């Protein structure tokens, strides 16, 4: 049983930078009153936030922080389970999440979610949905059991009956089945590969035993053919080497030829320069009568003599230029031949390297074939037979392992069938459904709501009245729905107490008396609540003047300078 002792908070919503503290197990029943917005329901948000990291109402976590102070939001809750005392501390700005057991801080996981899972699964043994169905009945941000999905209803009842372990086991079995399936596929593939290796090895051994001599003859013939090819290629190599030597000799003349051509071209340029100068001089004397230097007249006889000499010199130079150009052309033709030989030399080198590579490949093939012949001529029967025996043993071992996996699958399938929602859990739920339905109808009758309420194995409800049959929850008025919600909550607490699963001392009703309950319903509900044993009841209400005399303790919240606090 969880016995909640103390709840305190500061900088949460409208609460200021001082702790507001509520003793949770000090009085049998407590009325919490105050005006709208005074902070009455903050207690619910503080409790849920401390235990589950989220508030009871639909408020985003950042909005829980007091907007004026803007930091140091802290919520602490203390409770006892068995002989161990626990304290949970949560905070915002800075973020805090600590679990103390007997004043010792428990090791915190790297992920806060893992730490929360540990709190819910191993300490509280209930989650947010179950807690809000059994401990808190609110008018805001509360989803009644009857409005939950079938899956959520099942989860809550599994928590109540402490059979969620079967869901965990079912998940583990599913995981084992998946691993088993993968292992079986892998083992079948392994067996198939081993069989293939065995067949190949046996076929190879049979062929060795039957065809060794033929193989040796075949390899000898191939070796002989390779040697003949090598001989032919070697002759080609000799020819290529000889031709390469000839081409090297020719190509070696290239620098000398290039030097001659350059020398001839230099002389050619000089002759052309002289021809040009002689031509200019001759043209001058042919078309001018005065000397440009001394300004004296040039005689006709001198002009004719000088022009004759210049023409003769120009003719000689042109004749020399023609002879030189013939030499240049001859050398360039020779150079073209050399360049062609140079290209041929490059091709010969490539052909020579290719032929030598072929010879090397044939020699390597001969070495490989000779090694094969040696292996064929060596007695490998015992070695191969040992390998065959080893493969046979491996196949048998793998088949044994596969059989074990098949047997395991059968066990897992049987376990999965039992652990499904329609298996063991359904049988357990079947045993408790009559008790649950009986308790619900008992509480409904106590609340002056005379219907026959029934939950089936799928957690679907059927509600029958005296005059009209087959109702659903949604057919009823808000007041009638609230009676059903209250009856279910009281039922869950009774079942929890029977199972001692998630039994707790705390029961909080938020504005339940302020909504749709009439005076008679209020009286009947109070009778039921006062009859509950080992319960610390907290009722949040606006009807303080009507309800105050029904409670042994009253807590009043008020707002002072925009901060909520308890007024003594």
pLDDT at 292: 66
Question: For 46-60, 310-324, 356-370, 384-398, which range has the lowest pLDDT when averaged over its residues?
Answer: 384-398
Q: CB-hemisphere CA count at 13 Å for 249?
A: 5
Q: Compare 549 and 14 and report the one with higher pLDDT.
A: 14
Query: Token pair for residue 505?
Result: 């001392």
pLDDT at 24: 93
pLDDT at 504 exceeding the cut of 60? yes
DSSP per position, 530-544: HH-SS-EEEEE-S-H
Give the model confidence (pLDDT) of 448-492 as tens digits: 788 888 888 777 888 887 666 677 778 787 777 878 887 887 887
3-state helix, strand, coil in the chain (%, to 5): 65, 15, 20
Q: Quick one: average pLDDT of 409-413?
A: 86
Q: CB-hemisphere CA count at 13 Å for 214?
A: 5
**CA distance readout (Å), 555 to 37, 78, 137, 540, 548:** 15, 19, 19, 9, 10
Judged by DSSP in three states, 462 sits in strand
Query: How far apart are alpha carbons 455 and 429 in whole angstroms?
Result: 11
Query: How far apart are alpha carbons 223 and 362 in whole angstroms?
Result: 9
pLDDT at 151: 75
pLDDT at 164: 63
DSSP per position, 38-64: SSSTHHHHHHHHHHHSS-SSS--GGGG
pLDDT at 22 exceeding the cut of 70? yes
Query: How far apart are alpha carbons 208 and 109 in whole angstroms?
Result: 65
pLDDT at 505: 86
Query: How far apart are alpha carbons 144 and 154 in whole angstroms?
Result: 14
Give the pairing of strands 104-105 and 96-101.
antiparallel
Give the model confidence (pLDDT) of 211-268 as tens digits: 777 778 888 899 999 999 999 999 999 999 998 898 888 888 888 888 988 998 999 8
pLDDT at 140 exceeding the cut of 50? no
Question: For 152-166, 177-191, 447-461, 544-558, which range has the lowest pLDDT when averaged over its residues?
Answer: 152-166
């Amino acid at each position: 049983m969880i016995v909640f002792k103390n709840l305190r908070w500061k900088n949460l919503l409208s609460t200021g930078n001082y702790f507001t503290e509520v003793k949770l197990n000090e009085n049998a029943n407590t009325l919490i009153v105050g005006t709208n917005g005074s902070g009455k329901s903050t207690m619910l948000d503080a409790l849920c936030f401390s235990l589950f990291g989220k508030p009871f109402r639909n408020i985003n976590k950042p909005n829980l922080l007091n907007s004026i102070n803007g930091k140091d939001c802290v919520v602490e809750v203390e409770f006892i389970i068995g002989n161990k005392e626990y304290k949970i501390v949560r905070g915002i700005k800075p973020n805090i999440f600590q679990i103390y057991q007997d004043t010792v801080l428990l090791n915190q996981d790297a992920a806060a979610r893992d730490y929360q899972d540990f709190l819910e699964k191993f300490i509280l043994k209930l989650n947010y949905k179950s807690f809000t169905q059994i401990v808190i009945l609110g008018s805001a941000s509360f989803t009644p059991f009857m409005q939950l999905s079938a899956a959520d209803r099942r989860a809550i009842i599994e928590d109540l009956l402490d059979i969620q372990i079967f869901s965990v086991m079912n998940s583990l079995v599913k995981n084992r089945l998946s691993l088993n399936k993968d292992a079986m596929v892998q083992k079948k593939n392994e067996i198939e590969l081993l069989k293939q290796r065995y067949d190949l090895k046996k076929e190879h051994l049979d062929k060795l035993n039957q065809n060794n001599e033929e193989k040796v003859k075949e390899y000898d013939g191939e070796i002989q053919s390779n040697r003949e090819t090598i001989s032919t290629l070697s002759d080609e190599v000799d020819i290529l080497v000889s031709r390469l030597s000839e081409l090297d000799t020719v190509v070696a003349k290239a620098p000398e030829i290039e030097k001659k051509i350059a020398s001839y071209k230099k002389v050619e340029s000089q002759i052309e320069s002289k021809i040009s100068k002689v031509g200019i001089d001759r043209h001058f004397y042919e078309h001018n009568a005065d000397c440009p230097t001394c300004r004296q007249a040039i005689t006709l006889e001198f002009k004719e003599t000088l022009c004759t000499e210049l023409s003769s010199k120009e003719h000689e130079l042109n004749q020399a230029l023609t002879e030189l150009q013939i030499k240049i052309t001859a050398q360039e033709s020779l150079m073209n031949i050399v360049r062609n030989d140079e290209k041929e030399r490059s091709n010969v080198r490539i052909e020579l390297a290719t032929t030598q590579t072929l010879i090397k490949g044939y020699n390597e093939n001969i070495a490989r074939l000779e090694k094969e012949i040696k292996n064929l001529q060596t007695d490998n029967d015992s070695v191969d037979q040992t390998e065959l025996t080893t493969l046979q043993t491996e196949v048998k071992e793998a088949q044994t392992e596969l059989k074990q996996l098949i047997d395991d699958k059968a066990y897992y399938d049987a376990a999965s069938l039992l652990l499904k929602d329609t298996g063991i859990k359904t049988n357990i739920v079947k045993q408790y459904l009559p008790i649950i339905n009986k308790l619900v109808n008992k509480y409904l009758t106590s609340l002056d709501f005379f219907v026959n309420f029934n939950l089936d194995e799928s957690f679907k409800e059927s509600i029958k009245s005296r005059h009209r049959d087959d109702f659903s929850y949604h057919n009823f008025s808000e007041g009638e729905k609230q009676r059903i919600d209250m009856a279910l909550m009281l039922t869950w607490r009774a079942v929890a107490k029977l199972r001692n699963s998630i039994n707790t001392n705390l029961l909080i009703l938020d504005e339940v008396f302020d909504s749709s309950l009439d005076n008679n319903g209020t009286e009947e509900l109070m009778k039921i609540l006062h009859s509950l044993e080992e319960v610390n009841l907290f009722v949040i209400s606006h009807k303080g003047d009507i309800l105050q005399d029904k409670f042994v303790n009253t807590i009043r919240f008020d707002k002072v300078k925009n901060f909520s606090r308890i007024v003594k």
